[in-house]
Amino acid sequence: MRTPRIRRLACAVALALGAAFLSPGAPSAAAAADPYQVLVFSKTAGFRHDSIPAGITAIQQLGAANDFTVTATEDATAFTPQNLAEYEAVVFLSTTGDILDDTQQNALKGYVDGGGGFVGVHAAADTEYDWPEYEDLVGAWFKSHPAIQEARLTTEDHVHPATAHLDDTWTRTDEWYNYRSNPRENVHVLQSLDESSYSGGEMDGDHPITWCHPQQDGRSFYTGLGHTIESFADPDFRQLLLGGIQYAAGAVEADCGDGSPGPGPGPGGDSAEAEAYTSSSGVQIAPHAAASGGATLGYIDDGDWAGYATLDPAGATAFTATVSSAGAGGTIEVRAGSATGQLLGSVDVAPTGGWDTFTEVTTALTAAAPGAGPLFLRFTGGAGALFDVDRLTLTRAPATEAGGSSNVHLFYYPWYGTPEGPAGSWRHWQQGGRTPPDSIGADLYPKLGPYDSGDIAGAVDQHMEWVQRSGAGVIVYSWWGQGGYEDSLAGDVLDAAARHGIEVAWHIEPYSGRTAASVVDDIAYLEGKFGDHPAFYRDAAHGDRNAYYIFESLKIQDWSALDAVKDTAIVLAQTTDTTKVGHFGGIYTYDGIAGATAPGWKQAGDYAKANGLVWAPSVAPGYIDDRAVPGNTTPTLGREDGASYDLEWNNALDPAIGGDPTWVSVTSFNEWHEGSSIEPASSTPPPGHGYETFEGAYGKTGEAAETAYLDRTAYWADRFEQQRRQPR
């Protein structure tokens, strides 16, 4: 069993404090820490960096000077729980590709989650794309890079041992990675790139490049620097690398957050320590024990300013700051883009009676012009020191409408039945040869138990309440033809949806005898029967047309009959093969597994945009159908505590991967056989059947985890709407 790192660190701190009483030149806690071991792993299955040998040598030299020993290997069999227990930190030095098997991945995850340290250098982000949890561990996956060139970095944390030695800005030459997603919401950013200082940045002006974060009981550190051989001879980079290793190993203390979203943009409000500015004139960081984070933005004189590349005022409705002043007081001007950019609002700061006496000031903001740029604060007042600023917050209204986003659609299944309910018998729950109610054809068990889809006042009303909570504004109703069971329930489900402000689109399934002509007839039938219903979905952005998703559309070759309804309906083909979408008004994917890799999404999205079609890629929290289809050889995609869902949403919303969607469709609200449901699953399912739960999803446990995917959908729906508001 590994000794908990905090014990070793506590011992080191005690030694340092004891030495401090004996000698004015006492070593730091880091220097006094017990000797420890570090594993450097540099296996590659893709591009091989010629800087790897220099990197190994540099880490060995750092270890010799700082009391840790280094073992360098490219043998993946080193990744066993027993062997990893010998090390305080593992360094992935420009690894690439798929380098660990499932057992080795589990060993690394268990090691870090259990208290170990992980350090990723440069191409560590270009590694293990088939292992969703690795993205959480490293922070973000590599997407692209421009040519090697000089760029300017901004130091966002002047306290962490990896960056405490650096000035506000640092100009150096390296290969600058772009990442598939911005990690800021899930990590503590130490350095970011100024994209205006070089060519080829693709992260919209917020470009983290070095960061850290807790990983369960362990710690993770990553830097995108280190491509060149020369990097490892640079004293500043070596100190950055040393600080990252010491943090990951637990040899020094550092605040990397608690794993919750950081101060960057997010739904509901954006906050930051005022001293975490990314550009400035005149101001300095002022230590204050009473301040949040132990420091403030201080030494403010008339005309000084501070910029925050991580905070976007677009959509912000108010600004709040915690301030103190034993000086003259003055005014905070809130601006966009630059210190002389668009003035959004201003607020006066009166003297508070002392530099450690804090109060809040707030002001409403006018709307920032589209693309105006990040937040800047400019300070005005009389002569001398004016005031200090501690923490600042932008408040923004949620982007989703009161009834949810009309651009996020949940596939909804009304096909379940029970002997006691309107169905009069078990429907669907018995799939896979199961015997309900305790044994059902699903790997998860509904919070409501196996319910009847005709229980409108019970199950269906609860469903619509949950859909409303999810932030989605539309359900896509699984419909199996005129006169069928689902058709008989449709009117009552629309009534329930209307009571909760939800709209209903249609998923026309492959019922017996379905043809292109019959689908045209179905559209006329549904329009005639429900077209005047307040819950009947019509897309205002596309001529108030209603929407019909056609499952397994490739089973029919000739869809020319759809030309008769193209002006009144948006009919979506299920494919990314754009040669198969003639006569359709849109494209979707449905597949709950493919979203993890997004094959063909960019091409389909680009085609849709160029041809005036709707593009609605489908995302899912996972796909597990072992109990519903015993012996099925279809691949599965585990939920991984929410990582799979986030991966698919990130893919959908990244224009370089997802192709700029019109809508996002979610597979599914309640297709329990597939294990793809976001409907709450019981945290205490009947024992003895091997049911999974949502335990651990987004850090939630017990009953709180039951609604984890509803709440995460609301988060992503808001992100999607915020993105749609940006200029295209």
Per-residue pLDDT reduced to its tens digit, 618-637: 999 999 999 999 887 778 99
Q: Is the pLDDT of residue 264 over 60?
A: no
Distance of alpha carbon 455 from alpha carbon 708, whole angstroms: 24
Number of H helices, E strands in the chain: 14, 31
676 and 667 in contact (C-beta within 8 Å)? yes
Question: Quick one: average pLDDT of 528-552?
Answer: 96
Q: For residues 456 and 396, which has the higher predicted lDDT (pLDDT)?
A: 456
Is 302 in a helix, a strand, or coil? coil
Reported confidence tier of residue 32, pLDDT bands at 50, 70, 90: very low
pLDDT in tens, 166-192: 988 899 999 999 999 999 988 999 999
318 and 326 in contact (C-beta within 8 Å)? no
User: Who contacts 529 (Cβ-Cβ below 8 Å, separation ≥6)?
Assistant: 490, 491
460 and 471 in contact (C-beta within 8 Å)? no
Question: Quick one: average pLDDT of 379-386?
Answer: 92
Distance of alpha carbon 117 from alpha carbon 115, whole angstroms: 7
Token output for 706: 């039951």
Distance of alpha carbon 209 from alpha carbon 225, whole angstroms: 7
Task: Report in angstroms the alpha-carbon separations of 229 from 5, 171, 192, 225.
Answer: 32, 17, 22, 11
- From the list 370, 374, 377, the residue with the least C-alpha distance to 345 is 377
Distance of alpha carbon 357 from alpha carbon 324, whole angstroms: 6
pLDDT in tens, 91-138: 999 999 999 998 999 899 889 988 899 999 999 999 998 888 899 999
274 and 297 in contact (C-beta within 8 Å)? yes
Strands 472-479 and 295-298: unpaired
Token output for 709: 């995917």
Distance of alpha carbon 349 from alpha carbon 359, whole angstroms: 9
> What is the reported pLDDT for 402?
55
Number of neighbouring beta carbons within 10 Å of residue 259: 16
Q: Is the pLDDT of residue 325 over 50?
A: yes
Reported confidence tier of residue 1, pLDDT bands at 50, 70, 90: very low
Distance of alpha carbon 686 from alpha carbon 449, whole angstroms: 10
Reported confidence tier of residue 22, pLDDT bands at 50, 70, 90: very low
Q: Is the dihedral of CA 275, 276, 281, 285 positive or negative?
A: positive
Distance of alpha carbon 665 from alpha carbon 51, whole angstroms: 44
Least confident of 252-261, 289-298, 492-501: 252-261
> What is the reported pLDDT for 401?
54
Which residues in 455-562 belong to E strands, given as ranges? Answer: 472-479, 503-508, 546-550
Least confident of 104-113, 328-337, 527-536: 104-113
- From the list 213, 143, 259, the residue with the least C-alpha distance to 696 is 259
Is 39 in a helix, a strand, or coil? strand
Is 407 in a helix, a strand, or coil? strand
**What is the pTM for the complete model shown?**
0.53
